[in-house]
Structure 1
């Protein structure tokens, strides 16, 4: 398929698929690629498809794309990068279980099993404002809706293709640059030296040392059906709802884990200024908790707080990656455009330091709730 806007006569049967899915139309089919992670071996591509006055999103799932290391497609239904999962989440209806509470997925228009083994997902095109452009207030309202949805739905029936132990597998697969955490020269690189806060090295090394303890905690907390890739680039407004895309990792998670991913990711990719993160995160957490209570959830709030704070472990790998890439060109998500390297390192450094505070709070809170003390103590 083309990788730029193009008129398509019959690329991989798209024309005939479009006629079957969208109904009769006149003229050609046009495909425009959408930003996604090009390294992921599960994703054959994502496009906006325009055919006459009809429009849809086409996402192709594959296991035949060349991908190395952790981004290789998996045949294991429990693996975090199982190649068919998103199709199963949509087909089963699980992608829509949060809809009554204000969070929904695009409607599945068709699932097409292609002769070569790929799966084409034809999805509704949701045209609302992307969350990458939301104000903090809109993010906070989304957090309330997410809390209401996860509080009401909780865990779901254990389908064999839902991801399990996602966080442990995902973090364990991110190993690039870990040896640099103890490398003085790596910490003296100009981008790192000039833009990482004082004391950050101590906190990230400590988090790395305690990684298994944090993962054990996250796996012991109350469970919820979770998106597990919940961040602004996968979210947009949809009238009174929030629409959430990309359900490829969905499965079992800790209650609060999705929020613990969403908040720092709002800053890591420069959608919310790092200076606003403490206030933004506090208000979003309160909104999430309000949503939980609104749904009738009656659990211990401290367990949710612990899940959000302990979810800092998801970013154990990020400092090491930044040390490894401090001498490289800095590209945005999808690799299409360059970003201001100094701004990225400054904003991410501040956010990693804030996650260090989350980790410290988790170490203090866990023993009070009956969990073992962290190896590094308080």
Structure 2
């Protein structure tokens, strides 16, 4: 829980007088940048408090960085809110919570006091709402010019994927693939496809870095979005920065399934409809680029999940917890749904390998 005296002082400045109560909210507890997230109530007013830090102890991958270009730079989200960049997509129907206050604390942490946004979370949206969100994202990324603030992330995808190494040695381990959860729930051929994706990882990352650029949220998934009136409200701007045009969509779609928000058997129709909606939004914005390059970005985004198969091999005998680690989920359901979604991503990867040479990129190593 946040320190009481400090919480009361800040809450009084932001929310006015009243008895203060703090309710912890779900977030990634392993991220070294996030000291905690709470809904704070004072009287009949509420706000969300997110505390950014660089002193939290965590494992190497999630450690906070002092490098403003690093994917996990500890103060980036404060900069995004303080600069107003978080609202750059507001004219197109996607906005951030309003910043109520940004407080530099004596210990060096930063307390972001944000609007407490009511409304339906993206985790429970029907497919039609996700597809409309994809259209709005297309309009926003087509209309908004890429930003080059010195604290925005660069090389996010390469550095994020490169830092996730759990279980990589198990990709070629027969015993790992014979574990019951893996054997019973991963489709035939998935091992071959995921080993190939890993082998081609640098090629995919090179392609993604060479595609048309856009300002990206880069952690765009249903748990970070909420419907509020006509708008979609997008949270957690900690990774924001330079990305390929289409990369955010390539993250949003499979993440809808990986955390059990959308059934895996709906992914093919969902992804097709959302991609068309995103393209429609790009054209609506006045964008006149080559849509084949956008398609390549979406498909090549499969490389972000190179680490996931290996991680699942490594954790096949562990308790399966939901995002935030507060409750267990069905291990069989998780492995079946994720196995199906990874098979879908193998199709994206194959499409990217075929499409890239036609657009002037070198062939993938495994395609030679």
The TM-score, its normalising length taken from structure 1, stands at 0.96
Kindly indicate whether residue 35 of structure 2 is the aligned counterpart of residue 44 of structure 1: yes
- 1:119-161 deviations in Å (ceiling 9; x for gaps): 00000011010000000111000000000000000312x1110
* Structure 2 counterparts to residues 93-172 of structure 1, below 5 A: 93-156=84-147, 158-172=148-162
> Structure 2: how far apart are the matches of 1:295 and 1:22?
38
Q: 1:244 maps to what in 2? A: 234
> Structure 2: how far apart are the matches of 1:267 and 1:172?
23
Q: 1:369 maps to what in 2? A: 359
> Structure 1: how far apart are the matches of 2:334 and 2:216?
28
> Structure 1: how far apart are the matches of 2:286 and 2:108?
44
- 1:25-60 deviations in Å (ceiling 9; x for gaps): 23x201000000100110000000000011000000
Contact in 2 for aligned 1:154/1:223 (Cα 8 Å): no
> Structure 2: how far apart are the matches of 1:128 and 1:148?
23
Q: 2:316 maps to what in 1? A: 326
Kindly indicate whether residue 206 of structure 2 is the aligned counterpart of residue 216 of structure 1: yes
- 1:67-91 deviations in Å (ceiling 9; x for gaps): 1211011001000000000000000
> Structure 1: how far apart are the matches of 2:303 and 2:219?
15
Provide structure 2 residue ranges, at least 5 long, that are not aligned to the other structure: none
- 1:9-33 deviations in Å (ceiling 9; x for gaps): x61511110111123x23x201000
> Structure 2: how far apart are the matches of 1:314 and 1:64?
27
> Structure 2: how far apart are the matches of 1:335 and 1:181?
25
Q: Secondary structure at the match of 1:288?
A: helix
Picking from 329, 337, 341, the partner of 1:339 is 329
Cα root mean square deviation, aligned: 0.8
Q: Secondary structure at the match of 1:376?
A: helix
Provide structure 1 residue ranges, at least 5 long, that are not aligned to the other structure: 3-9
User: Deviation above 2 Å: which 4+ runs of structure 1?
Assistant: none
- 1:303-360 deviations in Å (ceiling 9; x for gaps): 0000000000000000000000000000000100000000000000000000000000
* Structure 2 counterparts to residues 170-185 of structure 1, below 5 A: 170-185=160-175
Q: Secondary structure at the match of 2:191?
A: helix
Q: 2:4 maps to what in 1? A: 11
> Structure 1: how far apart are the matches of 2:345 and 2:76?
30
- 1:153-192 deviations in Å (ceiling 9; x for gaps): 0312x11100000000000000000000000000000000
